[in-house]
Chains A and B, each alone.
Chain A
């Protein structure tokens, strides 16, 4: 490798020297010709200066120009000043000529070299700018992260004139894709690879990561190269990698945005559907239950009246189910908007008890509320639903002559509500799952009208939305106790 470099450099030096010598020889020939036909010898000076300019133009660096300047000075001195064919000078003016000639030659050669160098840099810059522009515009056209990767390897391969690999991790699964651009081939190969293959592909190559530490998209592998030209071009690589990264960022964000938009539309559709269903179910349910109710009083035979009553009860159960599912969907969609107002606790509890009595049969419902008026900021309708659900639950789990107690008391900054019954209580195994959606106590599974276990999860969601908590426990004397508290805000203190 090193030998090769030296050899190549030697070749280059040899070539430069050849240019130098041929130009110098031509200039000398012309100078002799001028001298022979009898023109003033001073013209040879001009020819030599011209030759130095040409050497500087066609060789690289300052060295050959300066070398040519000395050659020309020596040659002029040797061939064209008296005494001829010696380096001595008789005429003092010749010394001036020779010195001026040397200084002029050196200046001209260095200036020319500088100019050449500057114009080369400018040309390089222009081509780099063009290349970057080309890459930027193709990256801008790419859509999707993998398209960006394909465009990137293609551009880098064109720029560096070599094979380029890009390995991208795929987010959805843990696989990786390999984008491969071969030198001089316009097609990109895309393969699925695993970790082992990645190591094989990247070994012995320069590995450049794309992305920052939190957001790693993948790596780009390029062969390690040594030619000066390639090294020059590789200086562009970091800038290009930055471009690739920002293109990938852009594509990733737009993909994420697209997903969010799709999800939002999906949610909206679901919401509209549920609203439509809720309306379209309520109306026929109202029709069925109302009709059954009319039949219950109109039919003459008791058996028929019982049938109508069955329809009525089943419809009510179904209605409650629909309402519960709708409430839960609202809560889960985050659409539970609290319309808080100061409410008198006695009104809310009273209303809940009044409502529950309709379904309580012979059960006794006792409410124990502080004599002082107690105001609390809450969404009255929702807390009413909490209490109704808890009392309904107690009704379901007590015998027909059961007792249900509702008690309200306050401590420093909380109002506690307690619904207790003397029923079967909560099975210890059920305790952890009590407030989960669709959980139904073991004993009730298979019974037709047990519900689908939404009541308590709705209760918990509403209490939590108010900043409170709910607890369930068993009474030592039998029966279940549900307790929840709501925080007292400054806006609704005790009266």
Chain B
């Protein structure tokens, strides 16, 4: 496999930095390693990487602050890797613009899988999102508002379709409950959080998804949902 895509690893722990780097270089990816938030911001501005792996506990500034600053000028995908296991922090990081979140200790294979999903998306030009989406058996036709699974058309209500399109357009990215509600509902009430669960359950049934062996929609309990096209 040969790939000239550039990975930026922002991590102050030497061992973690080196094994992430080793596993990425195994796959022939190029990597840059930095240890502080300031260095990360400089690199992202000077030589934009294709993906950023970011630790939240940096010596010079909070990781969330790094995400906010990067998002003010760049859409580069960010995967957060953190030793802190707080739902609040997870949602904060995702809402600040991070794409995915892994809690330490994490499996390197899991990290690689998530990176692959994000990389595939970032290779697709942005204009493509208005046409149709293919993933294995699943075809989502954005123009005609149609969904096909294994060649058969499946009926989706307008709301279900909106949610599915939002997920499909952001493969690999964890969409928090509040983000989905904000985008799909516009303004929302707390009671809409229940409706979201029900819509998701219906979408899952229409796609013949078993939540314990998901093909497309991964549940992040207490956080949100993630579309995968692995």
Contact = CB atoms under 8 A, between A and B. Distances in A.
Interface of A: 278-279, 282-291, 293-294, 297-298, 315-316, 319, 339, 341-344, 346-354, 357, 365, 367, 373, 375, 379-381, 384, 492, 495
16 contacts: A283-B83, A284-B13, A285-B104, A290-B16, A297-B26, A315-B105, A344-B201, A347-B201, A347-B221, A349-B212, A351-B212, A352-B212, A353-B212, A375-B194, A380-B221, A381-B221
B159 to A, nearest CB: 15
B72 interface: no
Given A286-B106, A375-B198, A350 B15 contact: no
A266 to B, nearest CB: 24
Given A289-B105, A293-B109, A375-B198, 4 more contacts: A291-B22, A294-B23, A339-B87, A343-B197
B108 interface: yes
Contacts of A381: 87, 221-222
Contacts of B130: none
Given A286-B105, A294-B23, A297-B26, A343 B221 contact: yes
B222 A288 contact: no
Contact of B200 (A294, A344, A367): A344
Contact of A290 (B19, B201, B213, B214): B19
A354 B219 CA distance: 10
A375 to B, nearest CB: 6
Contacts of B107: 289, 293
B206 interface: no
- The prevalent SS among residues of B at the interface is helix
Contact of B105 (A285, A351, A379): A285
Contact of B20 (A289, A290, A379): A290
Contact of A293 (B15, B108, B204): B108
Contact of A373 (B14, B20, B198, B214): B198
Contact of A351 (B23, B85, B219): B219
B210 interface: yes
Residue among A288, A293, A316, A379 with max Cβ neighbours from chain B (10 Å): A293
Contacts of A298: 22, 26
A12 B100 CA distance: 104
Given A298-B26, A349-B212, A350-B214, A287 B15 contact: yes
Given A294-B108, A349-B211, A287 B197 contact: no
A168 to B, nearest CB: 50
A490 to B, nearest CB: 12
A287 B211 CA distance: 31
B57 interface: yes
